[in-house]
């Protein structure tokens, strides 16, 4: 039952209602405070629920991640990414007819405008792929500004389908441009992940079902993570009623940071730094040394304090891919396995619940598949697209306000301007 919270400030007492969550923590509704001239202070939003949402639920302590109530383990093992896209966007798993319609819509929207080739050619070959992908998604705003009415449900769904369909094409174009290779057109007869891999590697090799399945699983596992930094960025930008492609490209920028989407890249950087299996003990000792800033990348999690439910299913795919590619004996991957074994057996890691997280296994899998490390965050972008667009759609489907936080001002008090010759 909802309770009231009472706060007293400057001799006044204010009653605040609580709002009841369907799962997890209830929240104190502080909206009434503004009428009292009181603001709350919460840098980094650690104690703030910025919105209500029906899309994703996380219980970090219990290692639970659910999309629309479905546990991530079931979705990763039994569903596929396009089905999950429908689920996130619409709230329910698709019927067979709805699924067929989505597959057709995605196939119809995979191509990007021919002039996009020029956009990529405008970047140097060494440009970071996240910069190219952000620019290309932002550029879709130029193509779809007049024909997108964000107040119309059908236009929002059309926008979602366009973005989910085009992001693999854009991501593959960024990869091919960086590799100095010509683009490969999307093939609508292929599955979602298989088509992406084919646009990356189709001129060199066939895409095996094991690798396509692992990539699809990476997309599912990254598809949403409630109000993280990039999703909150999309909501904040979208709350200004800006063009949706612009709002999504703001989210892409936020994802790029190493504190958010860059961790799987950091795993590979760390493995390369360790360099040799014989050095593993030395680096584990560094990670345990309080005076050394080194940490084992791909271990631990801010939210999941017992285990990362995504890591368990990713571990399975990682081993399937390594086995199929016969890559288990590659030096870097042997090194990763050694690190994983030591960390799982060492008291320091056991006592602190530091187990390998999703980035550990997705980083190793992507490396084995031949994805360059600077494309890892692009793969995350591709997976997260349905989450971002579903949150944007959810926000616009109900009354909302422009996001406009206040601040605790600590600057100068009022003072008079001093002419430059008198300073």
The set of catalytic residues is 301, 359
Q: Which residues contact 245 (CB under 8 A, 6 or more apart)?
A: 137, 138, 139, 140, 141, 144, 159, 163
Rule CB under 6 A: say whether 366 interacts with ligand CMC: no
Rule CB under 6 A: say whether 354 interacts with ligand CMC: yes
Rule CB under 6 A: say whether 268 interacts with ligand CMC: no
Site residue total, ligand CMC (CB under 6 A): 14
Q: Which residue is nearest to ligand CMC (CB)?
A: 300
State in angstroms the smallest separation of the CB of 390 from ligand CMC: 18
Rule CB under 6 A: say whether 300 interacts with ligand CMC: yes
Print the SS3 string covering the chain.
CCCEEEEEECCEEEEEEEECCCCCCCEECCHHHHHHCCCCCCHHHCCCCCCCCCCEEEECCCCEEEECCEEHHHHHHHCCHHHHHHHHHHCCCCCHHHHHHHHHHHHHHCCCCCCHHHHHHCCCCCCCHHHHHHHHHHHHHHHCCCCCCCCCHHHHHHHHHHHHHHHHHHHHHHHHHHCCCCCCCCCCCCCHHHHHHHHHHCCCCCCCHHHHHHHHHHHHHHCCCCCCHHHHHHHHHHCCCCCHHHHHHHHHHHHCCCCCCCHHHHHHHHHHHHCCHHHHHHHHHHHHCCCCCCCCCCECCCCCCCCCHHHHHHHHHHHHHHHHHCCCCCHHHHHHHHHHHHHHHCHHHHHCCCCECHHHHHHHHHHHHCCCHHHHHHHHHHHHHHHHHHHHHHHHCCCCCCCCCCCCCCCCCCCCCCCHHHC
Rule CB under 6 A: say whether 298 interacts with ligand CMC: yes
Rule CB under 6 A: say whether 357 interacts with ligand CMC: yes
d(C-alpha 110, C-alpha 10), whole Å: 59
Among 158, 295, 319, 338, binds ligand CMC (CB under 6 A): 295
Among 102, 234, 287, 333, binds ligand CMC (CB under 6 A): 287
Among 194, 315, 359, 394, binds ligand CMC (CB under 6 A): 359
A 10 A CB-CB count for 343 gives 22
Is the CB of 357 or the CB of 367 nearer to ligand CMC?
A: 357
Among 166, 301, 391, 393, binds ligand CMC (CB under 6 A): 301
Stretch that binds ligand CMC, among 168-176, 207-215, 352-360, 386-394 (CB under 6 A): 352-360
State in angstroms the smallest separation of the CB of 383 from ligand CMC: 11
Measuring CA to CA, which residue among 125, 147, 323 is closest to residue 243? 147
State in angstroms the smallest separation of the CB of 245 from ligand CMC: 24
Rule CB under 6 A: say whether 221 interacts with ligand CMC: no
Residues 6-45 that bind ligand CMC (CB under 6 A): none
CA distances (Å), origin 359, targets 325, 330, 380: 20, 19, 10
Among 57, 192, 219, 299, binds ligand CMC (CB under 6 A): 299
State in angstroms the smallest separation of the CB of 255 from ligand CMC: 9
Rule CB under 6 A: say whether 361 interacts with ligand CMC: no
Is the CB of 167 or the CB of 343 nearer to ligand CMC?
A: 343
Rule CB under 6 A: say whether 352 interacts with ligand CMC: yes
State in angstroms the smallest separation of the CB of 397 from ligand CMC: 26
Rule CB under 6 A: say whether 63 interacts with ligand CMC: no
Among 46, 182, 189, 302, binds ligand CMC (CB under 6 A): 302
Rule CB under 6 A: say whether 415 interacts with ligand CMC: no
Is the CB of 46 or the CB of 408 nearer to ligand CMC?
A: 46
Backbone φ and ψ of 111, nearest 5°: -65, 150
Stretch that binds ligand CMC, among 32-40, 65-73, 141-149, 349-357 (CB under 6 A): 349-357
Among 215, 296, 333, 366, binds ligand CMC (CB under 6 A): 296
Residue with tokens 């100095």: 180
The answer to whether 111 and 249 are in contact (CB under 8 A) is no
Stretch that binds ligand CMC, among 15-23, 87-95, 295-303, 415-423 (CB under 6 A): 295-303
Stretch that binds ligand CMC, among 83-91, 174-182, 290-298, 381-389 (CB under 6 A): 290-298
Rule CB under 6 A: say whether 297 interacts with ligand CMC: yes
Binding residues (CB under 6 A) for ligand CMC: these are 263, 287, 295-302, 352, 354, 357, 359
């Amino acid at each position: 039952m909802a309770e009231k919270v009472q706060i007293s400030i400057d001799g006044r007492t204010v009653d605040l209602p609580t709002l009841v969550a369907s799962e997890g923590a209830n929240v104190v509704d502080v909206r009434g405070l503004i009428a009292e001239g009181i603001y709350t202070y919460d840098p980094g939003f650690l104690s703030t629920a910025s919105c209500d949402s029906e899309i994703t639920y996380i219980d970090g302590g219990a290692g639970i991640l659910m999309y629309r109530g479905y546990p991530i383990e079931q979705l990763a093992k039994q569903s596929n990414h396009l089905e999950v896209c429908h689920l996130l966007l619409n709230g329910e798993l698709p019927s067979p007819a709805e699924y067929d319609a989505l597959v057709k819509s995605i196939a119809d929207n995979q191509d990007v405008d021919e002039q996009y080739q020029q956009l990529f050619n405008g970047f140097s070959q060494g440009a970071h792929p996240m910069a190219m992908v952000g620019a290309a998604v932002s550029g879709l705003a130029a193509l779809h500004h007049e024909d997108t009415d964000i107040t119309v449900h059908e236009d929002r769904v059309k926008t979602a389908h366009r973005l989910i369909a085009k992001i693999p094409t854009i991501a593959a174009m960024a990869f091919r441009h960086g590799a100095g290779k010509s683009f490969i057109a999307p093939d609508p007869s292929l599955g979602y992940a298989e088509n992406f891999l084919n646009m990356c590697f189709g001129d060199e090799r066939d895409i095996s079902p094991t690798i396509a399945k692992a990539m699809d699983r990476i997309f599912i596992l990254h598809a949403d993570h409630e109000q993280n930094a990039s999703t909150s960025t999309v909501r904040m930008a979208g709350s200004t009623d800006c063009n949706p492609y612009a709002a999504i490209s703001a989210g892409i920028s936020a994802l790029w940071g190493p504190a958010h989407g860059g961790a799987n890249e950091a795993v590979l950087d760390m493995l390369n730094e360790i360099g040799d299996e014989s050095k593993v003990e030395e680096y584990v000792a560094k990670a345990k040394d309080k005076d050394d800033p080194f940490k084992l990348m791909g271990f631990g999690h801010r939210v999941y304090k017992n285990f990362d439910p995504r890591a368990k299913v990713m571990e399975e795919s990682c081993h399937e891919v390594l086995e199929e590619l016969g890559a288990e004996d590659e030096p870097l991957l042997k090194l990763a396995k050694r690190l994983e074994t030591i960390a799982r057996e060492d008291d320091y890691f056991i006592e602190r619940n530091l187990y390998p997280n999703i980035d550990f296994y997705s980083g190793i899998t992507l490396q084995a598949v031949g994805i360059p490390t600077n494309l890892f965050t692009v793969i995350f972008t591709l997976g997260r697209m349905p989450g971002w667009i579903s949150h944007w759609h959810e926000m616009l489907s109900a009354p909302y306000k422009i996001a406009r936080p206040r601040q605790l001002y600590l600057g100068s008090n009022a003072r008079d301007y001093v002419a430059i010759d008198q300073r």
